[in-house]
Structure 1
């Protein structure tokens, strides 16, 4: 073969290889950092620089869990898939004390691509005091680009005069609304998951274990099911009277006002009883109370440096789910604190939660149970 023919053949092979590579991977310029969440409203929560640092004084149980050691890199990246956002979509008008009402909204991210897609309803944290649907934008976008319609919702909180029953009802109302409008937002209504952080983690746990319980189905779209097929609980509570059982006594005393407000979230705004004084009400609010073998699969994440919600909270929930035959996986993230930016006020304190390893576990769980 002549020299010119060899050069031409080599060039053809190089071009073919490049074409295959570009088909398999997006161009490097398309990949970028995931978008940042807006700053949370108000000052960051938790002790200031001069305060004594909270300490976990109870060993973190990993006996039935998997310990992850992700560090803080590599971080997730976005930009591979175009995502359309529908902001401020009203999904319910709900009653408040005194005859008032409140409109609840959601932000819906729809990834580009053919056919209906599984739905994930994201329930933000905020200590049952706030519910900012704009939070956790990096991970929500990462999940949307993985092929999920992701809807981040507002819900009623304690300053609204709400109890946990109201908040759970709002999450279920969002699920029904999205099923009713599945065609509009390219949703597969048969594949719906819920994902929550902190207070949101608690709420999605209750939603998951009350599939089929019509007590929480109030409002509109009652011809639609509020049942879900998968639950992602990130550092959520279970027994609301034991939120800080693993931390030092000084921190528990400092956080007593928060626990007093949570008592009203359990019993109602006019209640004067503490959580310790009403164990029956605490049990009614505990997702463990309602676990049954037919519950949807759970994946649970908790940092072993979390001094806001004790790691033992998710350990108890995970073990109770497994004891009833429910598919539950729990990951303990080494070095990770409470990742809810509504509390930390600083994304740098949440980097373990946006690593490729931890986010990959979350999306992998969704893929198995909502796409499989």
Structure 2
């Protein structure tokens, strides 16, 4: 576990909303997913050729929020990828996945990464989605400055960021061309289904960040089923939803794999192009015993290939 993820776990614990890992894995039996076994030793080797802009204020409504941008050296405009970090809805630190973001920038994408509001400042997912929309507006408004093609825009996130990417992609006003979801949640009332009893209790109890981020503090998910349903990206899918690439580890002990399977099936049912890979032996990104899988050449090349296909002119 790297230092950033250790910090996220520490911040979550200090906030009273700790990130818990189940002692058992939850089953995944989706019939329309592809099982792969990436070689963690086959690592990506990103260059440092992209231009880097760090700490840009992008939201007048919340001046502390910042954005980092990587732009390719070649002439633009380039398709844009907006990266949304995870952090258990407690933290969202834009510096995450630095190596992977540089790798995508090397493939001739502008890659932006943002802080967005979480429970640490009393925010809900609606606030976070406003931040995402504001970031997209900022980037489109400064398209010539950063070499962005405003009509070719993708979102990519992991864990809580995967959930936010899915929610942002199912918002038509964002005009998203493609979405990449690494082990994000969907039906947050059942996010721990299949895990051990203490983990289920921790995810649904009063100290969990999940109901707080969806409903606000002091409100229980069981008392507000309609609001929880509205916060499920699978329930927001339409025929106009953009294509998705979804990846989940079969040994994820934090977000049950059935969560992304639910979204995948909703996309397919609506006629939306969706590909879901299940990583054999894969855990929850950096919060696992197999973090190298998620930055392996096989995984990141699949991401780049998907983004190229969906954002080509």
Which of 34, 57, 60 is residue 93 of structure 1 equivalent to?
60
The match for 1:34 is none
SS in 1 for 2:143: coil
Distance across 1 between alignment mates of 2:234 and 2:120: 26
Q: Any conservation in 1 of the 2:88–2:209 contact (CA below 8 Å)?
A: no
The match for 2:241 is 295
Which of 101, 104, 110 is residue 140 of structure 1 equivalent to?
101
What value does the CA root-mean-square deviation take over the aligned residues?
2.3
The match for 1:368 is 309
SS in 2 for 1:126: coil
TM-score by length of 1: 0.77
SS in 2 for 1:184: helix
Which sections of structure 1, spanning at least 5 residues, go unmatched? Answer: 1-36, 95-100, 213-225
SS in 2 for 1:357: helix
Q: 1:187-209 CA deviation, whole Å, 9 max, x = no partner?
A: 11111000000001001111111
Distance across 1 between alignment mates of 2:255 and 2:227: 20
Which of 35, 39, 55 is residue 71 of structure 1 equivalent to?
39
Distance across 1 between alignment mates of 2:204 and 2:237: 29
Q: 1:43 to 1:235 in 2, by over 3 A?
A: closer
Q: 1:52 to 1:242 in 2, by over 3 A?
A: closer
Larger mean CA deviation between 174-183 and 256-265 belongs to: 256-265
Instruction: Tell me the CA shift for residue 62 of structure 1.
Output: 3.5
Instruction: Tell me the CA shift for residue 249 of structure 1.
Output: 1.6
1:323 is the counterpart of 2:269: yes
Instruction: Tell me the CA shift for residue 242 of structure 1.
Output: 1.2
Q: 1:251 to 1:110 in 2, by over 3 A?
A: same
Instruction: Tell me the CA shift for residue 111 of structure 1.
Output: 1.3
Aligned residues: 306
The match for 1:39 is 4
Q: Any conservation in 1 of the 2:204–2:210 contact (CA below 8 Å)?
A: no
Q: Any conservation in 1 of the 2:183–2:260 contact (CA below 8 Å)?
A: yes
- Looking at CA atoms only, which structure, 1 or 2, has the larger radius of gyration? 1
SS in 2 for 1:78: coil
Counterparts of residues 211-360 of structure 1 (less than 5 Å): 211-212=172-173, 226-257=174-205, 260-269=208-217, 272-339=218-285, 341=286, 344=287, 349-360=290-301
Instruction: Tell me the CA shift for residue 53 of structure 1.
Output: 6.1
Distance across 1 between alignment mates of 2:296 and 2:206: 30
The match for 1:216 is none
Instruction: Tell me the CA shift for residue 280 of structure 1.
Output: 0.8
Instruction: Tell me the CA shift for residue 354 of structure 1.
Output: 1.0
Q: 1:43 to 1:316 in 2, by over 3 A?
A: closer
Q: Any conservation in 2 of the 1:38–1:135 contact (CA below 8 Å)?
A: no
Q: Any conservation in 1 of the 2:167–2:233 contact (CA below 8 Å)?
A: yes
TM-score by length of 2: 0.91
SS in 1 for 2:228: helix
Distance across 1 between alignment mates of 2:195 and 2:4: 27
Distance across 1 between alignment mates of 2:311 and 2:3: 29
The match for 2:71 is 110
Distance across 1 between alignment mates of 2:6 and 2:60: 23
Distance across 1 between alignment mates of 2:162 and 2:40: 22
The match for 2:17 is none
Q: Any conservation in 1 of the 2:189–2:204 contact (CA below 8 Å)?
A: no
Q: 1:144 to 1:130 in 2, by over 3 A?
A: same
Which sections of structure 2, spanning at least 5 residues, go unmatched? Answer: 14-19
